[in-house]
Every structure is written in C-alpha cells, then in structure tokens.
C-alpha cells in the first residue's frame, strides 16, 4: 500500500510535481500515462526516494519515507523497480545479477539465493540463461532478467518505468506477459507506460498526468472511452 499526500518535487526553479495526492491499494495495478515531461518518471522515483522529495509525505506500507528516521534501504527492499534501460550489472552473470542483493542485503545464503534465482528465471522463461552475461541477451530477455532481479528481494510493491519503451516491437509482448502474470498473482504495481492495450487489460486504475499534476484518474474504461478533461482527450487522441 502506498499513500501519497501533497507530494512536491522541484529541480531548481522547475516545479515538476505539484501537490500530488493518491492512494494505491494492496494488489492494485495502477497505470500512469501522460505526455513527455509531465513528471511520470519523477513521480515513480519519488516513491522509492531515488529523487529527494521537497514537500508532502509518502507512506509505504505505513512508514513515512520522508521521515529522516526511516531506514530507506529497508524500504527499498520492499519496493522493486524496473527501469526503461534495464540497468543490469554487465560484469555479473544473469544469476549473479539476481543473487547479489538477496545475499548482500538480505543475508540469504548463496545456495538459497541461487535456488530462488533459478526459480525466478524459470518463471520469466529464461532458465537456460542463468550463466550468460547480460550483454549476450536481447532487450526483451534483459528486461525479464531485470524483473526477476527485482522480484528476488520479494518486494510488496513493484514500480515499472516504461519497461518496454527501449524494446524492439517484437519483444514488447514477452515482457508484458511477465507483468500480466505478476498482476494476476496479486502484486501491487505502479506502471508508467505508453502501452494502452496493457493499461486497458491489466490496469485497475489509470492516472493521467500532465504538468506535474494528476489531471484525471479512473478505471481504464472510463478514462479511455469517456475522458472528462480536455487535456486527457487531447492526449488520448494522439496516442490511441
């Protein structure tokens, strides 16, 4: 569960997030859409403090991450993040990518971590790539490894920032498939994406952001078929 209240974020004089408030419930899949530069990535990155927050509060599983006394490393183990550029560790094999954080942060034994890692690789359909280096994988495979790596920490929440935007079109499907599976299993997910099909099919709720505010939110059917705000209509007419 994520609660965001009056969240503000500025870069210098540029106010990128203006007073955002939203609650994301357990097991909910929330899709964030909006034009480039509207603050989608920044919003997502505030949820695990990859960006420092300038105002307001964010509670993750009841803990206020803007409180100085909160152990942010502990919170981050509960919030997985998947990046547009994958960000796999190129000097480590696929299985080592997945094992690293559980072993070093969670202090899981290497044997247990490997076992769990192989299981996750089976789940994303890459059991045969355990000993490969990331550079030898296709984009779609890299992103599936990145998802497995995040899942290895057994997070309660997963954040996805345009996970398919850097992929060739024929690889988008395999990644979305893994994400759908995850949603079905009840993972709480916040997904920034331009894949409107995914938003309609998997999303419980869609947030439309523009200019650093949530302009409109609702279930996918409402937003896509009957948007209320002019800005939403204008955006959707361009992307649909």
Ligand X SMILES: Nc1ncnc2c1ncn2[C@@H]1O[C@H](COP(=O)(O)OP(=O)(O)OP(=O)(O)O)[C@@H](O)[C@H]1O
* Min CB(168)–Mg ion separation in Å: 19
Per CB under 5 A, the list member of 38, 41, 143, 193 interacting with Mg ion is 41
Contact 225, 200 (CB under 8 A): no
∠ CA 49-85-76, rounded to 5°? 25
Q: Which spans of this chain sit near other proteins (rule: CB under 8 A)?
A: 48, 50, 73-74, 76-77, 79-81, 83, 85, 87-91, 100-101, 104-106, 146, 149-150, 153
Reduced 3-state DSSP string for the chain: CEEEEEEEEEECCEEEEEEEEEEECCCCEEEEECCCCCCHHHHHHHCCCCCCCCEEEEEECCEECCCCCCCHHHHHHHEEEECCCCCCCCCCCHHHHHHHHHHHCCCCCHHHHHHHHHHHHHHCCCHHHCCCCHHHCCHHHHHHHHHHHHHCCCCCEEEEECCCCCCCHHHHHHHHHHHHHHHHCCCEEEEECCCHHHHHHHCCEEEEEECCEEEEEECHHHHHHCCCCHHHHHHHHHHC
By beta-carbon distance, which residue lies closest to Mg ion? 41
**Residue 148 touches which member of other proteins, ligand X, Mg ion, none, C-beta under 5-8 Å by kind:** none
* Min CB(207)–other proteins separation in Å: 21
* Min CB(112)–Mg ion separation in Å: 35
If binding is defined by CB under 6 A, does position 239 make contact with ligand X? no
Locus of tokens 């550079």: 135
Looking at the Cβ atoms of 101 and 215, the one nearer to other proteins is 101
Locus of tokens 């076992």: 115
If binding is defined by CB under 6 A, does position 36 make contact with ligand X? yes
Looking at the Cβ atoms of 105 and 127, the one nearer to other proteins is 105
**Residue 178 touches which member of other proteins, ligand X, Mg ion, none, C-beta under 5-8 Å by kind:** none
Looking at the Cβ atoms of 153 and 178, the one nearer to other proteins is 153
If binding is defined by CB under 6 A, does position 41 make contact with ligand X? yes
Per CB under 6 A, the list member of 6, 25, 26, 37 interacting with ligand X is 37
* Min CB(104)–other proteins separation in Å: 6
Looking at the Cβ atoms of 38 and 97, the one nearer to ligand X is 38
If binding is defined by CB under 6 A, does position 232 make contact with ligand X? no
* Min CB(65)–other proteins separation in Å: 13
If binding is defined by CB under 5 A, does position 42 make contact with Mg ion? no
Q: How far apart are CA 234 and CA 210, in angstroms?
A: 11
């Amino acid at each position: 569960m994520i609660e965001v209240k009056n969240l503000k974020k500025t870069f210098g004089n540029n106010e990128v997030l203006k007073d955002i408030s939203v609650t994301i419930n357990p097991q909910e899949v929330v899709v964030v859409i909006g034009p480039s530069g509207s603050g989608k990535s920044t919003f997502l990155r505030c949820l695990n403090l990859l960006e420092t927050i300038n105002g307001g509060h964010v509670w993750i599983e009841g803990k206020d991450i803007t409180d100085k006394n909160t152990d942010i490393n502990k919170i981050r183990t509960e919030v997985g993040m998947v990046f547009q550029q994958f960000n796999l560790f190129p000097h480590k094999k696929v299985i080592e990518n997945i094992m690293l954080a559980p072993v070093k942060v969670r202090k899981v034994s290497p044997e247990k971590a490997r076992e769990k890692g192989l299981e996750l690789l089976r789940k994303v359909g890459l059991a045969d790539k355990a000993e490969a280096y990331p550079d030898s994988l296709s984009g779609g495979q890299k992103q599936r490894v990145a998802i497995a790596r995040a899942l290895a920490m057994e997070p309660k929440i997963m954040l996805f920032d345009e996970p398919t935007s850097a992929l060739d079109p024929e690889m988008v499907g395999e990644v979305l498939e893994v994400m759908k599976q995850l949603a079905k299993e009840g993972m709480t997910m916040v997904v920034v994406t331009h894949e409107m099909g995914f938003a309609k099919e998997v999303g419980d709720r869609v947030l439309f952001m523009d200019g650093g505010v949530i302009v409109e939110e609702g279930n996918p059917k409402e937003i896509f078929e009957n948007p209320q705000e002019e800005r939403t209509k204008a955006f959707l007419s361009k992307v649909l």
